Structure 1
Amino acid sequence: MRRLVLAAVALALLAAGCSYTPVTIVPELPESAQSSAIYASDGTLLTTLHGEENRVNVTYDDMPDHLIDAVVAIEDARFWLHDGIDVIGLVRAARSNVGAGGVAQGGSTITQQAVGVLLVGQDLSLDGKIEEASLALQLERTLTKERILELYLNSIYFGKGAYGVEAASQTYFGKSVSEITLSEAAVLAGLIKFPNAANPIDYRDRAIDRRDIVLDAMLQQELIDRETYEATLSEGLDIRPPVPQALVRYPAPHFVDEVKKWFLDNPEFGETREDRIRLLFGGGLRIHTTIDPQLQAQAEAARDQILPNAETDPEVGIVALEPSTGRVRAMVGGRNYYGETRSAKYNLAMGSGRGSGSSFKPFVLATALSQGMPLDTRYPAPRTATFPMPGGQEPWEVTGGGSAAADLRRMTVSSYNTAYAALMIDVAPSNAVAMAHRLGITTPISPVPAAVLGSENVTVLDMANAYATFANSGLRVPPVMVDRIERADGTILWQHAHEQERVLSAGIADTITDILVDAISGPGATGNRARLPDRPAAGKTGTGTGHRDAWFVGYTPQLSTAVWVGFPNATTPLEPPNTPVRVFGGGYPAEVWRAFMGPAHEGQPVFGFAEPPRDLVPRPAGSNPSAPSIASQDDIQGGEAMGPTTLGGPGA
C-alpha cells in the first residue's frame, strides 16, 4: 500500500507538470548581473567591476568535459536521459517526503534546478514544484541539454560571492574555468549543494570531503577509471584566495576612475544614473580603453626619477595623448592612490584644475595672430611694468622681463611677462579666453588680464589637449578614454566615433609650433631642460602665482604631454623649506616631461613639424638683437639666476 502511495505522488507530480501551462516562459539567458571588465589598449585587464553579484558568463564550450561530468554525476546522474523530469528521482524523493507536509527533499533534475534559479525561485510548496516541473519539460523541448547546462552553471551560487563557474574558478583557483583540473572541477561540483559550508577557502577539509564524494560518484557512473580516481584523491588543493576588493591594486587607477565617471555621466548608457550604475557594475561589459600600459609605467617612472621622495616631494600630474586622435595614453593623477589619506584618490590631473602660469601665453599668441598681428610686432619688456585698470581698479603691477623690446617670437621663447601683459590688453582678455576654450580648455576662465600669467585654473588633461591642437595644425580633437564597449555577448554597445573641428588656421597653428620649438631649443629658451636629443619638440613653461604651481606642456607630432608639479593643498609654495630649490616650470616639470617623452619615443620614427607659411609670419633672419643669449639667462628670468638653487624663473 505504501509503495502505491509513493508511486501515486510521483505520478501526480509528473501529470500535473505535464498539464500545467504557465503564462510565459523565457528560455533564454536572463539578464542576470555580470561583472564588467576594463581593459587597456593592448587587451590586458586593468580591473573588474563587481556589483551585487560577481558573475562572468562563459559558453558551454569553455567548460571542460570533466567539469560537466562531475556536475552531472553528483546532481543529476540521468540528466542526459530524461526529458526534464526524472520519474525515478521523483519516486525516491516522494518516499522521503511522505508525511512531511510538503516537498522537503530533492529529486529535482538539473533542468528543474535551472528553472528554479532562473524563472520561478526556490518554491518548495507542492504548487511551486508542479510549476517547476512544467517549465522544466518546456525548457527541455526548447533548448538543448548543453544550453541548459550552460544556463545552469552560469547562474548558480558557489559561495564567497561567486555566481557561476567562471567567477567561482577565479575566486578559488585564480584561473579561468577552462583551465581547471579534474580535482578542482570536483570541488566546484561539490559546492552546488553546500556553497557556504564547503567553500575551500574557509573549510578546506569539508571541500576535500565533498570533492571525494563527487569523484566516487564519477567512478560509480564510469565517468572516470579507478586509476584516475585514486590519483585525483591523492592530489592536494591549490587554493588561491582572491584579494579583497578594497585591497585590489591595478594600473592607472586615476584613469580607471575617470572612465567610470565618464560612463556614469553619459546618458547614452541609461536614462538615470541608477540605470547606468546597474549596467556598469552588472552588465557584463567589456570596456576597451585607450591607456597604454607601457606609457603609463614610463610616466610614473619619470615622476619617480625626478621627484623620488614620496614623503616630502611635491605631487605630479601627467597626461599624454595623441594629437591626431585625442586618445589618452597615460594619466598620472597622484602618487599614492591606495594611500589612507582622504585625498589619496583625488585626481590631480583632473579635478578643478590649478593655475596655469605662463603656459597660458600660447593661447594669447594664437589670439593675436588670428587678429592679424604680424609676428615682428614688438612690445616693451622691462623687468617691471604698471598697467592702469578701468573702473577705478588698482593698477596692475607685473614683473618679469629683461629686454627693452621684443617681438612676439622672442617674448614667447623667453616668456616675458611684462610684454605679454601688454599683448593681453591689446587682444582683449575675453578674446584670449574664447581662444583658450576653442583650443580645448573646458574649465571656466575669467576674462581678466591676469589670465595671461596663469591666474585661472586649468586641468592637466585640458592643457595636453589644447596644445595637441597646435600639434594637429589647428584641428581640435576631443580627448577620448574609451575606444569601444562590448556587451557580454560580444556585440558592440558603444564605439568611439572620431571627431575633429577646425578651430585655428593651419598656418597660425604651425607658426605657434615653430615658436614653441624655439621655446625648448632656441637661444634663451625657458624650456631648454625639456629638449629631446633625437627629435624636434615644442613646448612652453609655466609658473603659477606665488610659486604654487609649475608646468611644462609640450608635444611632438605623435604625443602631447602636460606635466604639472605642486602640492595638493594649493597653498604651499614650491620653494624652500618645502622644496630643496625654488621650482619654476623650466625645472622639475620640464625634467619630468623629458624623462617621460624620451623613453616614450624610443623606437618611434622621427617626424618633423609642418613648416609655417613664411608669408604669414616671416621668421626674422639671423638672431634677434633684443634677445638675450643663453649666457644672460638671469635677464630673461627677471633677475633670477639659473643656478643650483633656482629652477626656471618668474613667468617661466
Structure 2
Amino acid sequence: MAKTFKILFILALLGALAAAGITYAVYLQVKDSIPTKQEMKAIELQIPLRIYTRDEQLIGEFGEQRRTPIRYEDIPMDLENAVLAAEDSNFYHHPGVDVMGLMRAAYQLVTSGEIQSGGSTITMQVARNYFLSFEQTFMRKFTEIFISLKMEQELSKHEILELYMNKIYLGKRAYGFDAAAQVYYGKHLSELTLAQYAMIAGLPKAPSRFNPVANPSRALIRRNWILQRMLTLGMIDKNAYQAAVEAPVTAKNYGIQADVEANYVAEMVRHELYQSYGDKLYSEGLVVYTTINSERQRNANQAVYQGVLDYDERHGYRGTLDTRKDLLDEDLATQQEALEEFSNIPSWTMALVLKTSADSASLRLQDGSAFELPFSAMSWAAPYLSENSRGKKPETVSDVLVAGDIIQLRPSDDSTWRLAQTPAVQSALVSLDSKDGAIESLVGGFNFFANKFNRITQSKRQPGSNFKPFIYSSALSNGYTAASVINDAPVVFHDSNLASAWRPTNDGGKFYGPTRLRQALYRSQNVVSVRLLDEMGIRTALEFMKRFGFDPNELPHNLSLSLGSANLSPLQIASGYSVFSNGGYRVQPYLIERIEDRNGDIIFQAEPVTVCQDCTLLERPQNDDSSATLLSQKGLFDTQQGVVERPVAPRVLDEDVAYIIYDIMRDVIRYGTGRRARVLERDDIAGKTGTTNDGRDAWFSGFNGDVVTTVWTGFDDMSPLGRGEWGGSASLPTWIDYMRPVLADTPASYVDKPSSLVTVRIDPNTGERAYPGQKNAIFEVFRRDHVPAANVAARPEARDGQNADPARVTPSTNSALENLF
C-alpha cells in the first residue's frame, strides 16, 4: 500500500512538474503578448465623434463603433446583476479565471478536437476584447488566461467590469451597454426597465442570434432565462421577476437619435475636422460644441420645410409614383413589400389606393394600417403643366387618384395625412449673430438624406437685387445721399466688358423718371442701380466690396454688378449683411465654439472677432509689466469691464452710412418689396428681396440689430421658378416663419443712430432742401457734411404737392410694386 502511494505521489509530482514546465514554456511563448501594468492602466476606448449645439443638444455622431462610455458608478444595479447572472455569477470571487469552466472547455477540446465553449469569465472577455483577436486557438486561450490573471492584480473588479460594460459588442454597431440602450430602446441606460436590462444582458453571448429586433422570439427566451437566473441567485424577488417576464418585447432599431436635426451642420463640422485628424477623428472621442441654437435650428428646419412644400403645392401635382392595379388582389405582406420599394422622406409614408369615392380614398399605408384620405387633403392637387401653369382644380377624388395608385403622404397640421410629392425645388437658410458671426441655425436644403449638397456654403448663385445694398452703401460712402436723384429712364450702355449693347429695364418695363436713391432701393429699381454704378465707377465699387468680405476678382467687372450678377453663396451674403446689422463692423461667420477631448479637456476654443462699440484697440506697451502685458499684441479695452482679452471686430463701414442703409432697408419692409414682413409687427427689422433673370433664384435677407438671416430658393438645375415667384413670394415667407419665433417676446433691437446724423426737410421731387412752408416736404437723414443747401424762397409749383413720395407721406402704397424685384 505504501509502495502504491509512493508511486502515485511520484507520478503526481512528475505530472505537476510537467504541468508547471508546460505552463512555463507556454508563458515564455506568450509573455510578449501580455500587456504591462502601464498599458492596462492606459486602455482607451474607440469613441465616436459627437457634435452638439451650443446648448448641448446632440446633432450628430460619426464613428463605426457607437459607444457612450460610462463609469462604474453609473451602471444600474439591475443591469450589473443581469450581466453577472448571464455571463459570470462568480465574478467577485474568482481570481480572473474560472477553473471549473476551463476544465470543462479542456475536456471538450480533448474529446472533440475543437473548442466548443471557452469557459470565459468577464475578466477573460475583457482581456480578449482589449488585447487579443477572436481567433480560437490553444495559444490564444493561454494568453487570455495569463492576461486575465495579471489584470486582476493590476485593476479592481469595478474597473474590470467598467471596461467590459463599455467595450462589449452588442449588435447594430453598438459597443457598450449605454449605446445598446440608445440603439434598441432610444433611451439612456438609466431609463430602462428590468426586462430591458435582461434583454440587452443576453446579447454578449451571440449579438445576432439573440438580437431583439432581428430574432425577437429567441431574444425573449434568452431574456427570460436570465431573469430566472437572477431570481435563483437572489438578485430579484418573485414580484419583480413575474412583472419582467410578462413584459412585451419593445426593442426597435432606433440607431443613435439626435436631439435636433442639423445634418448639414454636422457634415460641415465633420469635413472641417477631418482635414486635421483624418480617420482618427472617428475614434478619438472628440466632442464638438457648435454655435447652433437648438430652438432656432428647429425653427429653421420647419420654416424651410414648409416654404418648400407651399411652393410645391402652388405649382400643382405631378402625379402618382406608379399605378399597380395587380396589388389590389394581393395579401397585406405583398402590398407592404411593394410600397417599401419606393424611397421616401423621413416622417412621410407611402400608400396604396385601394378604392375611391366622391369625397375620400381608402388607402393601405406602408405600416399595413388602413386610412381614409379625405378630399380636403388632396384638393390642392391641380395637375402640374409647367412651372407657369396648372390644370383644372380637382372637384372630386377621382380627379386626382384611382385605385392602384401608389402615392406619398406627409403629416398634416391636424395630425392626420395629406397627399404629397417629393419637391424638386430647393431652399436654404442661414442665420447669424451679427455681433460675432456665430452661426445660430443653418439648413442647406430640403432633405439632407436625398442630397447632401449644402446650398449655404457650396452653392454659388446670383443674388440679384439682394446685392444692391452693397452698391448703395458704396455710393453713400462716396458722396451720394439718400436724397440724391438718378433719372430712371431708358438707357443703352456700350460697355467693352459686355458682349453687346445693354438696355437695362425695371421689372414690368416701367420707368419712374427722376428718383431719389431711397426710393430706388426700396422699390428695387434696376435702371437707377445701373446708372448709379456707372456714375460712381465700377473700380470704385469693386474696391469697396472688399469691406464686406467679397473678393473683387470673383465679381463681374461690368455694370451687371449693380444687379447682382455675381455668383455668391448665401453664407457670403449673410456675412455681408451682418455689417449693416451691427452698425458697420466686419465679423467672420464661425460654427465651432469649442472642442473637448475624451477627458473633457478643452483643446480648442473659438475667439471670434466681436463687435464692441464701447471698446477701443489697445496696443501692448513694450517692456511694460502692467496687466495689459498679459494680453496678446492687441486686446480690447472696455470702459465698463476693463481689459478683456478678445479680438475686436474692425469697422469697415462708417456708422453714419450703416445707419442710413439700415433706415432705407426698413422702408423695404414698410413700403417696398418686403412688405409681407409687416405681419411681424416689428419696427426694428430691415431687409431686401432679390430675384434674378427669369426667376431662377429668389432671395430675402433681413435683420435687426442682433440677428441677420438669409433665405435662398431655387432649382439646382437653374430652372426658372415660374410666373409670380419672386424673392418676396418664394423666400420671404420662409424668412418670416423663421423670424417670428426668433423675435417673439424680445425687445426691439435697432441699429444705433449716430448723433452726427441730422434730419432735414427735403423736396421729394428734387431731393433738395425744402422751401419754407413747402407742403409736400418730407424728412430725410443726412450726414452732417452732406446736408443740401437751404432754400430761402418758396416756389409756387413746390406748394402743389405734386409727385410727393407716397411712401414717406402716408402708409398707403402703390399695388404695382407687388411684383418688383
TM-score, length basis structure 2:
0.67
Q: Report the CA distance between 1:586 and its aligned residue.
A: 4.1
1:506 to 655, 667, 680: 655
Q: CA deviation at 1:355?
A: 1.3
Q: 3-state SS of the aligned residue for 1:384?
A: coil
How many Å apart are 1:289 and its aligned residue? 2.8
TM-fit CA distance, 1:564: 2.5
Aligned match of 1:390: 496
Verify: 1:324 aligned to 2:443, yes or no. Answer: no
Judge conservation of contact 1:375–1:408 (CA < 8 Å) in 2.
Answer: yes
Counterpart CA distance in 2 for 1:215 and 1:6 is 43
1:601, CA displacement in angstroms? 0.6
CA 1:29–1:384: 2 relative to 1, 3 Å:
farther
Is 1:605 equivalent to 2:747 in the alignment? yes
1:624 paired to 2:764: yes
Q: Deviations over 1:203-238 (max 9, x none)?
A: 222222222332333334333344544443343332
Which residue identity lines up with residue 429 of structure 1 in the other structure?
I
User: RMSD over aligned Cα, in angstroms?
Assistant: 3.6
Aligned partners of 2:717, 2:47: CA distance in 1, in Å?
Answer: 40
Preserved CA contact (<8 Å) 1:527 1:586? yes
For structure 1, list consecutive stretches of 5 or more residues without a partner in the other structure.
576-581, 634-639
Bigger drift between 284-293 and 138-147 goes to 284-293
**1:346 to 1:312, Cα distance in 2 relative to 1, 3 A:** farther
Aligned to 1:642: 815
Q: Which residue of 2 aligns with 1:541?
A: 689
Instruction: Indicate the SS of the match to 2:183.
Output: helix
Identity %: 30
Corresponding residue of 1:286: 287
Q: Is this contact kept in 2: 1:587–1:648, CA < 8 A?
A: no
Q: How does 1:299-338 map to 2 (within 5 A)?
A: 299-302=300-303, 304=306, 308-313=310-315, 315-338=426-449
How do 1:403-442 residues align onto structure 2 when only pairs under 5 Å count?
A: 403-441=512-550
Q: Which has the higher contact order (CA 8 A, sep 6+)?
A: 1
SS in 1 for 2:687: strand
Amino acid at match of 1:62: D
1:43 aligns with 2:56: yes
Counterpart mapping for 1:436-585 below 5 A: 436-441=545-550, 444-499=554-609, 500-521=649-670, 525-531=672-678, 532-575=680-723, 582-585=724-727
- C-alpha change, 1:526 and 1:620, in structure 2 (3 Å) is farther
- Can you list the C-alpha shifts for 1:408-432, whole angstroms capped at 9, x where unaligned? 4343333332232132234433443
CA distance 1:528–1:75, shift in 2 (3 Å): closer
Instruction: Report which of the two structures shows the higher radius of gyration computed on alpha carbons.
Output: 2
Deviations 1:464-512 (A, max 9, x none): 2211111112222222233233334333343322223433233332332
Query: 1:405 offset after TM fit, Å?
Result: 3.2
What is the CA-CA distance between 1:399 and the residue it aligns to? 1.7
- 1:156-196: CA deviation from partner (whole Å, max 9, x where unpaired): 11223322112222222332222222222222222211221
Query: Post-superposition shift, 1:603?
Result: 0.5
* Alignment partner, residue 266 of structure 2: 259
Structure 2 partner of 1:637: none
| Alignment partner of 1:108 is 2:120 | yes
Identify the range of structure 1 (503-512 vs 192-201) with the bigger mean alpha-carbon deviation. Answer: 503-512
Q: Is the 8 A contact 1:553 1:563 kept in 2?
A: yes
Q: Does 1:239 align with 2:251?
A: yes
Distance 1:297 1:536, change over 3 A: same
Q: 2:76 aligns with which of 58, 64, 71?
A: 64
CA deviation vs aligned residue, 1:319-353 (integer Å, no higher than 9, x gap) = 222111222223343334455xxxx4433334322
What is the letter of the counterpart of residue 556 of structure 2?
S
Report the Cα distance in structure 2 between the residues aligned to 1:552 and 1:510, rounded to whole angstroms. 20
Structure 1 residue identity aligned to 2:761 = A
Give the match for residue 579 of structure 1. Answer: none
Contact 1:369 1:375 in 2 (8 A): yes
TM-score (norm 1): 0.83
What SS does structure 2 have at the residue aligned with 1:168?
A: helix
- When structure 1 is superposed on structure 2, of 423-432 and 57-66 the one drifting more is 423-432
On the 8 A contact 1:123/1:129 being kept in 2, the answer is no
Give the equivalent residue in structure 2 for 1:200.
212
Q: In structure 2, do the counterparts of structure 1 residues 480 and 81 end up closer, same or farther at CA, with 3 Å as the change threshold? A: same
Tell me how far apart the structure 2 counterparts of residues 605 and 129 of structure 1 sit (CA, whole Å). Answer: 70
Q: How many Å separate the matches in 1 of 2:540 and 2:219?
A: 72
Quick one: distance in 2 between partners of 1:363 and 1:37? 39
Aligned-pair distance for 1:299? 3.9
Asked whether the equivalents of residues 508 and 612 of structure 1 are also in contact (C-alpha less than 8 Å), the reply is no
Secondary structure of 1:321's counterpart equals strand
Instruction: Determine helix, strand or coil for the equivalent of 1:288.
Output: strand
Indicate the SS of the match to 2:202: helix
* 1:379/1:422 contact within 8 Å kept: no
Letter in 2 for 1:361: K
Unaligned runs of 5+ in 2: 1-7, 316-424, 610-648, 768-802
Matched, 1:161 2:173: yes
Question: Per the alignment, do residues 29 and 167 of structure 1 end up closer, same or farther by CA in structure 2, a change over 3 Å counting?
Answer: farther
CA contact (8 A) 1:454 1:545 kept: no
1:60-110 deviations in whole A, cap 9, x for unaligned? 222211221222233223221233233343334333333555765323221
Does 1:357 find its partner at 2:464?
yes
Amino acid at match of 2:674: G
Q: Which residue of 2 aligns with 1:269?
A: 276
Residue aligned with 1:355, SS: coil
The one-letter amino acid of 1:89's match is G
